[in-house]
Amino acid sequence: MNWYVLVATLLASSVEFVEALTIVLAVGTVEGWRPALRGTSLALLSLAVLTAVLGVGVLHYVPINVLRGLIGMLLLLFGVKWLRKAILRFAGKTALHDESAAYQKQLKQLQSNQGNTFAAQATAFNGVFLEGLEVVVIVLTMGSAAQAYTSAIVGAAIGFVLVLAAGFMLRAPLAKVPENVMKFVVGTMLTSFGSFWAGASLGVAWPGQDLSILLLIAGYLAVSGLIVSSMKRRQSGGKVAAS
Amino acid sequence: MKWIKEVYDLFVDDPKLAMLALVALAIALVVVHVGAPEVAGLAIFAVVAGALWYTTR
């Protein structure tokens, strides 16, 4: 079992599952569970087909070093995107993601269109498909680059079960999940894995091999923390100067 | 064509940051070819960290 991959896919997929669950809960509350579950099932089926086609196709036809380079690059892009958003949120430049607010917004949109079960089903489908697509990207990239498909799938499956169980018990949006902190951690992990695998495929000699991943995670966390604190200092400095 | 935009959005929300991340990899490739593969990783880390600072400042 590759624990790095398992933890990264568990955290990353949980964040996406929480967001998908919020949309499905909103659809279920407004239009009933039948269109919500139909949309969800169709999205899951489409994702399964996509994963099978992409996974099998990629593994059979692309050499592992090329695959690692490509995947490392995609993970790096994916990771810095998440990390930048997390930095801006923690520095107070953009609002923290609020699952309750997202749920209320979704409810309002659905209520304005109430009675249209097709639209409700399409909303559930879109939500689950788009959030699920990110999970597929994470599982496929992490699984194939580290050649640890089992760890990646187990991580995502644990995330799915945990989020589903919590959603089923609460029947409410999972506002208490520390989603913003998780996104920060996941952004750091994806950026680190991306740097490591893309670098390795280019011929970078990482000191201590896999141990470098931990160094990269620590380094990116430290840099992000420094950026957040310097942005906060600048903002409070600006406020003092203005007053 | 909408799906191309969806895929692009999956990986990029700040084109400058994405471009700088790719530049980091290009620099690492040059450093490896110059004959210093053991410092190329540091180059990736430094450029990506700098890009994060630059695009969030």
Q: How far is it, in rounded angstroms, from Cα A22 to Cα B47?
A: 37
In this prediction the ipTM stands at: 0.93
Dump pLDDT digits (tens) for A86-124. 899 888 887 766 667 777 777 777 777 677 778 788 888
DSSP state of A62: S
The pLDDT-based confidence of A174 (bands split at 50, 70, 90) is low
Chain A to chain B Cβ contacts (< 8 Å): 97
Dump pLDDT digits (tens) for A46-76. 888 887 777 767 667 777 777 778 888 988 9
What pLDDT, on the 0 to 100 scale, is given for residue A99? Answer: 67
* Better-scored residue on pLDDT, A130 or B49: B49
What pLDDT, on the 0 to 100 scale, is given for residue A84? Answer: 93
For residue B27, give the amino acid letter. I
**For residue A47, how many other CB atoms are within 10 A of its CB?**
17
Question: Best interface-test mutation with B: which of A19, A129, A131, A202 has the largest number of B CBs within 10 A?
Answer: A202
Is the model's pLDDT at A80 over the cut of 70? yes
What pLDDT, on the 0 to 100 scale, is given for residue B45? Answer: 95
Question: Among candidates A10, A6, A5, A1, which has minimal Cα distance to A182?
Answer: A10
Is the model's pLDDT at A10 over the cut of 70? yes
Does B9 contact chain A (CB < 8 Å)? Answer: no
What pLDDT, on the 0 to 100 scale, is given for residue B17? Answer: 94
DSSP state of A174: -
Please judge whether A195 and B10 are an interchain contact, meaning their C-beta atoms are less than 8 angstroms apart.
Answer: no
Q: How far is CA A234 from the centre of its chain?
A: 30
Q: How far is it, in rounded angstroms, from Cα A186 to Cα A11?
A: 6
Read off the pLDDT of each residue in A221-237 and give the average, rounded to a whole number.
89
Chain B residues close to A12, C-beta within 8 Å: none
* Residue corresponding to tokens 């920060």: A184
What pLDDT, on the 0 to 100 scale, is given for residue B47? Answer: 96
Q: Determine the distance in angstroms separating the CA of A169 from the nearest CA of chain B, rounded to an integer.
A: 31
What pLDDT, on the 0 to 100 scale, is given for residue A26? Answer: 81
Q: Determine the distance in angstroms separating the CA of A9 from the nearest CA of chain B, rounded to an integer.
A: 16
Q: How far is it, in rounded angstroms, from Cα A174 to Cα A167?
A: 7
What pLDDT, on the 0 to 100 scale, is given for residue A242? Answer: 61
Q: What pTM was estimated for this model as a whole? A: 0.73
Q: Determine the distance in angstroms separating the CA of A194 from the nearest CA of chain B, rounded to an integer.
A: 10
Chain mean pLDDT for chain A:
82
Dump pLDDT digits (tens) for A135-153. 888 888 888 777 778 888 8
Read off the pLDDT of each residue in A191-203 and give the average, rounded to a whole number.
91
Chain A residues close to B29, C-beta within 8 Å: 202-203
Read off the pLDDT of each residue in A147-167 and give the average, rounded to a whole number.
85
Chain A residues close to B24, C-beta within 8 Å: 76, 195
Strands (E), chain A: none
Chain A residues close to B12, C-beta within 8 Å: 77, 81
What pLDDT, on the 0 to 100 scale, is given for residue B41? Answer: 93
Task: Report the greatest alpha carbon distance in chain A.
Answer: 64
Question: Best interface-test mutation with B: which of A139, A195, A224 has the largest number of B CBs within 10 A?
Answer: A195
Is the model's pLDDT at A235 over the cut of 70? yes
Please judge whether A204 and B6 are an interchain contact, meaning their C-beta atoms are less than 8 angstroms apart.
Answer: no
Is the model's pLDDT at A207 over the cut of 70? yes
Reading chain B (57 residues) residue by residue, the pLDDT tens digits are 677 777 788 788 889 999 999 999 999 999 999 999 999 999 999 999 999 999 998
Question: Best interface-test mutation with A: which of B14, B22, B45, B54 has the largest number of A CBs within 10 A?
Answer: B45
